[in-house]
Structure 1
């Protein structure tokens, strides 16, 4: 595997943002920048051997500096939503920015997606992107990290992903209120638009007569991954036209499926192409949303002396 280092840009304060391009022996290529630890390019081959970029993003650093931009980033310290933008530890209340109605989303602003990271080591093998997350703390704190890449495995940002097939190993989703904050209950997916246990196109049920699908404009839901502890297959995405398939493996209990239901009007990405609703999908492996308020969920705060660790693998094949 080769690694090339370059300068991607400079922050407004002059901090240099570095770019690292990883390329394995088969030609699969990942470009990562130190701003937000973002995946800015991911080149994989299609069934004809042609390489294409399967993630959305921007050509320049300035594009990623936009308010709320999370393209390709490691988000945290708590990914997803925290109800009421607050939580308590030992009776002390901590207030967060309410950036999603009255709730907190992705710990923004000022989340890890907006920080400058340092590269210590990297691996890229077997046409798989392996992401190993780790954290330590000097005070008790909730930690929930994920990657927020917007995937279009057809490698054509001008093409909707609604024709791509999705399979999810999940029997339940976390039930949520209208503002997408979990109630604490789990809802079986059987017989609902959320049942992806057998592969189906993303668009098959996206316009079903379902209150949350209508209010969200598509999927934005946490699926409870089936299986024991340890790394297991969570989902698989397949694009028939290109022949690309992407399997997602993780040791986390949940995966948030977000079908890129909206973008800022007129927003553009690489090569000036418009970002359009449903032209990408996010598969965010993580703890359940709002776990800080639900002791029944598989989650606990990180404490001094403990180590937070989890792994997610995006593995590409051709069919």
Structure 2
């Protein structure tokens, strides 16, 4: 894997840098130290043409606020915490409520808007960020590491590691929006999608888990056999209608070959995802703001990308029967997510 870097612009008295990774199979990837953002991800299509399969802003300075979290690493806690509250050893922790009544993606001062420190840019690209005790009112200090590796078999490997000198909580993910037809094309509804999961977390109208795990049987959330993303997205099923599409956490199996397979008939590009995380949020870009200008200069539309956000379940601190995002000095968090790209004939 080869890595080069360049300065893009100045922000908060430092230079925002872009790192370009390439492998020996023609795949390239661009990463910003701002938000640890995956800025571009180019893979060969069935004709050998390099195709950018992630969404992103035309103006890199948009990543300072990043209203839809394009490509960013989310933390300290990705997804939602109900009313921004949870119990921590008998004390109530109150976080910012930045999504209606709830806390979303670490709040307005979350990791997606921070400049991460690059600590390795040779065989693997590794970034680090420190979050002190009471940062955004989260309990405990954490040190977070995110590594990106491009293999010569066209596999993107993302590794997350979080450590603490005491005890804390963390829930990191990457919020890339994929479009296997190519960045700038209108919709992902014609993508074929398979999700190797039997259950999802039931949600309220605020996208907060009720605590129940529901079977995907006989619901539009059943992707165990490959189907088009758009096949059932307008179904009148209440869990879909409350969030205007797919925005649901699937329970991942821990003994499996893969978690997700997505495929574009237009380009022949197939994406196979696997992770040792407990859950994964399928999000179909229902709230992408129409009018955002993408990297190609084209205006993005609603549902022009989909996310596969590996994670702890949303609102886990308030549901003790969910896998818990707690780490201690002797038990750090370590997770890995793999995105393998290939061509389907």
TM-score bin, normalised by smaller chain: over 0.9
- Which residue does 1:296 correspond to in 2? 321
- Which residue does 1:263 correspond to in 2? 288
- Tell me by how many angstroms 1:300 deviates: 4.0
SS of 1:292's equivalent?
A: helix
Distance 1:160 1:282, change over 3 A: same
Quick one: distance in 1 between partners of 2:188 and 2:259? 19
Residues 84-233 of structure 1 aligned to structure 2 (within 5 Å): 84-121=83-120, 122=124, 123-125=149-151, 126-228=153-255, 232-233=257-258
Check conservation: 1:234, 1:255, Cα contact below 8 A. no
SS of 1:64's equivalent?
A: helix
1:278 paired to 2:277: no
Quick one: distance in 2 between partners of 1:316 and 1:30? 13
Residues 8-23 of structure 1 aligned to structure 2 (within 5 Å): 8-11=8-11, 13-23=12-22
- Tell me by how many angstroms 1:140 deviates: 2.3
- Which residue does 1:6 correspond to in 2? 6
- Tell me by how many angstroms 1:67 deviates: 5.5
1:307 to 328, 332, 335: 332
- Tell me by how many angstroms 1:232 deviates: 4.8
Distance 1:108 1:300, change over 3 A: closer
Aligned pair count reads 316
Quick one: distance in 2 between partners of 1:114 and 1:66? 6
Check conservation: 1:246, 1:314, Cα contact below 8 A. yes
Q: CA RMSD in A?
A: 1.4
Quick one: distance in 1 between partners of 2:330 and 2:15? 32
- Which residue does 1:81 correspond to in 2? 80
Check conservation: 1:157, 1:280, Cα contact below 8 A. no
Q: Comparing 162-171 with 270-279, which one deviates more in the overlay? A: 270-279
- Tell me by how many angstroms 1:10 deviates: 1.6
Quick one: distance in 1 between partners of 2:257 and 2:73? 21
1:35 paired to 2:62: no
Quick one: distance in 2 between partners of 1:300 and 1:204? 34
Cα deviation, 1:83-105, whole Å, max 9, x if unaligned, reads 11111211122111111111111
User: Normalising by structure 2, what TM-score?
Assistant: 0.88
Quick one: distance in 2 between partners of 1:47 and 1:159? 20
SS of 1:25's equivalent?
A: coil
Quick one: distance in 2 between partners of 1:174 and 1:167? 18
Distance 1:57 1:67, change over 3 A: closer
Quick one: distance in 2 between partners of 1:137 and 1:25? 37
SS of 1:270's equivalent?
A: coil
SS of 1:84's equivalent?
A: helix
- Tell me by how many angstroms 1:54 deviates: 0.4
Cα deviation, 1:113-151, whole Å, max 9, x if unaligned, reads 111112223231120110000111234221111000010
Cα deviation, 1:163-198, whole Å, max 9, x if unaligned, reads 000000100111111111111111100111000000
Q: Structure 2: any 5+ residue segments left out of the alignment? A: 125-148
Quick one: distance in 1 between partners of 2:309 and 2:184? 19
- Tell me by how many angstroms 1:274 deviates: 1.3
- Which residue does 2:50 correspond to in 1? 51
SS of 1:119's equivalent?
A: strand
